[in-house]
């Protein structure tokens, strides 16, 4: 399997190199040159497989011969055996034909564990083979950071630097990152927002001279293809559990960086019958505005009760635009360069083809609280604010009641006790046992200005060999 850039002007890479990359040299994102396609018969034959076995079927074509099949299987077993539920991604029914897929049963309580616990193992494997050291640089609005740290903290050949927006993540999220004390773990609180953090990460991938050629950067954000690849699997899992592929499914996806929903789009392209994908955003609704009116226009980023989705520049939207433009990298580059400074649209027929599959909704904080209360009253089931946005959008956008509607439950409510409290809920979501003493643990992090040079100087002077 070869991977090509969405901007059409970077060398194609194999899986191992794509794993060790962030942005392509032309500033684009890597995507598979062609997607594996599965027949309904083949998908049907996967009924009854364990999550790890299913993950192997779905992901192996992407990994190809870069990792021997038995080694890859062992990594998948290890990764998904550490989840707290036997089903790994259990489904909870809210109403007739309405479901939440709980993606928060991994060690750091968010969907990021599905890819990042695997990514840590993949990196360890490849770096050990190459005897190579790398510096991981990632941006987080709260969840990627802790999952990446958990996934990579034991990697011998890695230093990990995670940038989070200072005072803009929940206290639980911050502590999940900053209480992991290790010589190779570095948390930076940036006086800015998530977009500022992500901008610095991308700029650093574009020019790595601050590392003086002594090591290289690797991405843990969903700009790294391996993240998207691992997130495709649970769409197959949910569908198979509810009668797929012999019936079509709809998914509602709490969306920020557009990685999770792009994985759903790929599952469909690979042959899984999906009739609807709902983009569920908070007030930072650039994607909803684009889907409703074909106008892609950045606005001021707002702080909401769903902080992990406080994102304006959704990296993976570029991967969808690439497909919408017939994989014309030059057209994508031109569009995104213009989008830096002005509102942009795409040709009507391209936009309409996106609209055939994607619906969208934007949910404000008051409505988020309302839906948390409503679902708790009806089902005695506590939603986190991100999942609540997904449930609300699912209900608003549903096209066909006979099609199962599955909302991706992207985080555990215990990560956001303040939002739960603001919803007027009398219940306090408990942290699971392994995090019960989180508030007593020592924290370590460095606060820096929103300044690229300060961040790069910090990294240059703190990675192991520096
Ligand atoms: C809890 C939660 N829900 C939803 C999202 C949005 O996912 P994506 O960025 O893949 O669109 C994120 C962060 O990305 C998240 O942490
Ligand atoms: N919500 C994310 C933001 C980063 O998204 P990613 O999927 O590209 O890593 C977070 O919690 O950090």
The residue whose CA has the least distance to atom 4 of ligand 1 is 254
The per-residue pLDDT for range 200-214, each reduced to its tens digit, is 999 999 999 999 999
The per-residue pLDDT for range 66-125, each reduced to its tens digit, is 999 999 999 999 999 999 999 999 999 999 999 999 999 999 999 999 999 999 999 999
Q: Which residue has the tokens 């993540």?
A: 169
Q: CATH code at 261?
A: 3.40.50.1100
Structure tokens at 357: 């599959």
Considering every ligand atom shown, identify the ligand nearest to the alpha carbon of residue 176 and give its number. 2
DSSP assignment of 179-206: T---TTEEEEEEES-HHHHHHHHHHHHH
Q: How many CA atoms lie within 13 A of 357 on its CB side?
A: 20
Handedness of CA 122, 31, 236, 363 (dihedral sign): positive
Element (H, E) at 358: strand 358-362
445 occurs within a structural domain: no
Nearest to 142 by CA among 119, 165, 117: 165
462 occurs within a structural domain: no
Q: Which residue has the tokens 């198979």?
A: 240
Nearest to 398 by CA among 446, 438, 361: 361
Q: Calculate the dihedral angle through the C-alpha atoms of 310, 315, 320, 323, rounding to the nearest 10 degrees.
A: 170
CB distance 314 to ligand 2 below 6 Å: no
How many domains in the chain?
A: 1
CB distance 221 to ligand 2 below 6 Å: yes
DSSP bridge pairs for 110: 411
Kindly name the residue from 57, 86, 112, 202 that is annotated as catalytic.
112
Report the pLDDT value the prediction gives residue 425, as an integer from 0 to 100.
87
CB distance 306 to ligand 2 below 6 Å: no
The span from the CA of 152 to the CA of 149, in Å, is 5
Q: Is 432 left (phi over 0), alpha (psi -120 to 50) or beta?
A: beta
Residue 46 DSSP code = T
Report the pLDDT value the prediction gives residue 44, as an integer from 0 to 100.
98
Considering every ligand atom shown, identify the ligand nearest to the alpha carbon of residue 263 and give its number. 1
CB distance 143 to ligand 2 below 6 Å: yes
Report the pLDDT value the prediction gives residue 3, as an integer from 0 to 100.
98
309 occurs within a structural domain: yes
CB distance 254 to ligand 2 below 6 Å: no
The residue whose CA has the least distance to atom 3 of ligand 1 is 410
pLDDT category of residue 465 using cuts at 50, 70 and 90: low
DSSP assignment of 91-154: EEEEETTEEEEE---STTSBTHHHHHHHHHHHHHHHHHHHT--EEEEEE-SSHHHHHHHHHHTT
291 occurs within a structural domain: yes
Element (H, E) at 453: helix 452-462
Does the pLDDT of residue 464 top 90, yes or no?
no
Tell how far the Cα of 164 is from the centroid of ligand 2, in angstroms: 10
Q: How many CA atoms lie within 13 A of 392 on its CB side?
A: 26
Q: What is the mean pLDDT of residues 22-37?
A: 97
pLDDT category of residue 272 using cuts at 50, 70 and 90: very high
CB distance 256 to ligand 2 below 6 Å: yes
Q: Which residue has the tokens 């090509």?
A: 4
Nearest to 176 by CA among 380, 351, 435: 435
Does the pLDDT of residue 427 top 90, yes or no?
no
Does the pLDDT of residue 355 top 70, yes or no?
yes
24 occurs within a structural domain: no
Kindly report the backbone phi and psi dihedral angles of residue 409, in degrees, each rounded to the nearest multiple of 5, phi listed first. Answer: -85, 100
The per-residue pLDDT for range 301-351, each reduced to its tens digit, is 999 999 999 999 999 999 999 999 999 999 999 999 999 999 999 999 999
Handedness of CA 250, 308, 149, 412 (dihedral sign): negative
The residue whose CA has the least distance to atom 15 of ligand 1 is 308
219 occurs within a structural domain: no
233 occurs within a structural domain: yes
DSSP assignment of 399-418: --TTS-EEEEE-B-GGG-HH
Tell how far the Cα of 364 is from the centroid of ligand 1, in angstroms: 16
What is the domain extent for residue 415? 88-110+225-422
Does the pLDDT of residue 50 top 60, yes or no?
yes
The residue whose CA has the least distance to atom 13 of ligand 1 is 308
The per-residue pLDDT for range 214-269, each reduced to its tens digit, is 999 999 999 999 999 999 999 999 999 999 999 999 999 999 999 999 999 999 99
The residue whose CA has the least distance to atom 4 of ligand 2 is 140
Tell how far the Cα of 411 is from the centroid of ligand 1, in angstroms: 9
Q: Which atom of ligand 1 is nearest to the CA of 254?
A: 4
The per-residue pLDDT for range 410-424, each reduced to its tens digit, is 999 999 999 999 999
Kindly report the backbone phi and psi dihedral angles of residue 403, in degrees, each rounded to the nearest multiple of 5, phi listed first. Answer: -95, 125
Tell how far the Cα of 102 is from the centroid of ligand 2, in angstroms: 18
Tell how far the Cα of 131 is from the centroid of ligand 1, in angstroms: 33
Give the end-to-end CA distance of the chain in Å, rounded to a whole number. Answer: 36
Q: Which atom of ligand 2 is nearest to the CA of 164?
A: 12
Element (H, E) at 280: strand 274-281
383 occurs within a structural domain: yes
Tell how far the Cα of 258 is from the centroid of ligand 2, in angstroms: 9
- Catalytic, 298? Answer no
Structure tokens at 347: 């040709």
Does the pLDDT of residue 466 top 60, yes or no?
no
Q: What is the mean pLDDT of residues 30-59?
A: 98
DSSP bridge pairs for 249: 274
The span from the CA of 95 to the CA of 394, in Å, is 12
Structure tokens at 265: 């789009």
Kindly report the backbone phi and psi dihedral angles of residue 112, in degrees, each rounded to the nearest multiple of 5, phi listed first. Answer: -60, -25
DSSP assignment of 220-256: -STTSHHHHHHHHHHHHHHHHHTTTTSS-EEEEEE-S
CA 36-40-44 angle, to 5 degrees, is: 110
Q: What is the mean pLDDT of residues 130-150?
A: 97
Report the pLDDT value the prediction gives residue 154, as an integer from 0 to 100.
87
Query: What distances in angstroms separate CA 293 from CA 343, 347, 399, one per listed residue?
Result: 12, 12, 19
Q: Which atom of ligand 2 is nearest to the CA of 148?
A: 9
CB distance 165 to ligand 2 below 6 Å: no
Element (H, E) at 80: helix 69-81
pLDDT category of residue 368 using cuts at 50, 70 and 90: very high
DSSP bridge pairs for 216: 134
The span from the CA of 222 to the CA of 15, in Å, is 15
Report the pLDDT value the prediction gives residue 426, as an integer from 0 to 100.
84
Report the pLDDT value the prediction gives residue 278, as an integer from 0 to 100.
98
């Amino acid at each position: 399997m070869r991977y090509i850039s969405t901007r059409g002007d970077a060398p194609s890479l194999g899986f191992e190199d794509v794993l060790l990359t962030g942005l392509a040299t032309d500033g684009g994102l890597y995507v598979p040159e062609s997607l594996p396609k599965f027949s309904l018969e083949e998908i049907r034959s996967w009924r009854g497989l364990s999550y790890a076995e299913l993950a192997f079927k779905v992901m192996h074509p992407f990994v190809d011969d870069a990792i021997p099949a038995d080694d890859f299987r062992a990594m998948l077993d290890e990764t998904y055996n550490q989840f707290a539920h036997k089903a790994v991604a259990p489904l909870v029914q809210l109403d007739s034909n309405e479901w939440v897929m709980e993606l928060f049963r991994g060690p750091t309580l968010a969907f990021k564990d599905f890819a990042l616990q695997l990514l840590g193992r993949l990196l360890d494997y490849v770096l050990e083979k190459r005897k190579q050291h790398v510096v991981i640089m990632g941006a987080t609005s709260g969840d990627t950071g802790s999952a990446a740290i958990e996934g990579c903290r034991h990697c011998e050949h890695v230093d990990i630097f995670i940038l989070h927006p200072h005072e803009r993540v929940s206290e639980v999220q911050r502590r999940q990152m900053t209480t992991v004390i290790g010589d190779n773990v570095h948390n930076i609180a940036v006086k800015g927002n998530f977009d500022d953090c992500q901008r610095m990460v991308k700029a650093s991938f574009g020019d790595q001279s601050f590392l003086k050629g002594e090591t290289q950067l690797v991405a843990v954000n969903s700009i790294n293809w391996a993240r998207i690849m691992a997130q495709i699997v649970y769409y197959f899992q949910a569908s198979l559990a509810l009668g797929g592929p012999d019936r079509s499914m709809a998914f509602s996806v709490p969306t920020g960086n557009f990685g999770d929903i792009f994985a759903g789009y790929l599952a469909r392209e690979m042959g899984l019958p999906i009739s609807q994908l709902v983009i569920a955003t908070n007030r930072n609704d650039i994607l909803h505005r684009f889907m409703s009116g074909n106008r892609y226009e950045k606005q001021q980023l707002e702080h909401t009760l769903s902080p992990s989705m406080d994102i304006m520049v959704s990296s993976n939207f570029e991967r969808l635009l690439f497909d919408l433009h017939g994989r014309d990298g030059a057209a994508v580059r031109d569009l995104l360069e213009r989008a830096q400074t002005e509102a942009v649209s795409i040709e009507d027929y391209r936009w309409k083809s996106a609209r055939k599959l994607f619906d969208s909704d934007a949910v404000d904080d008051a409505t988020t609280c309302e839906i948390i209360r409503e679902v708790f009253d009806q089902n005695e089931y506590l939603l986190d604010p991100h999942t609540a946005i997904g449930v609300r959008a699912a209900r608003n956008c549903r096209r066909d009641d006979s099609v199962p509607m599955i909302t991706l439950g992207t985080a555990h409510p215990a990560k956001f006790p303040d939002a739960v409290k603001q919803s007027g809920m009398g219940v306090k979501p408990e942290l699971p046992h392994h995090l019960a003493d989180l508030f007593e643990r020592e924290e370590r992090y460095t606060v820096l200005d929103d300044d690229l040079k300060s961040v790069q100087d910090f990294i240059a002077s703190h990675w192991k060999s520096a």
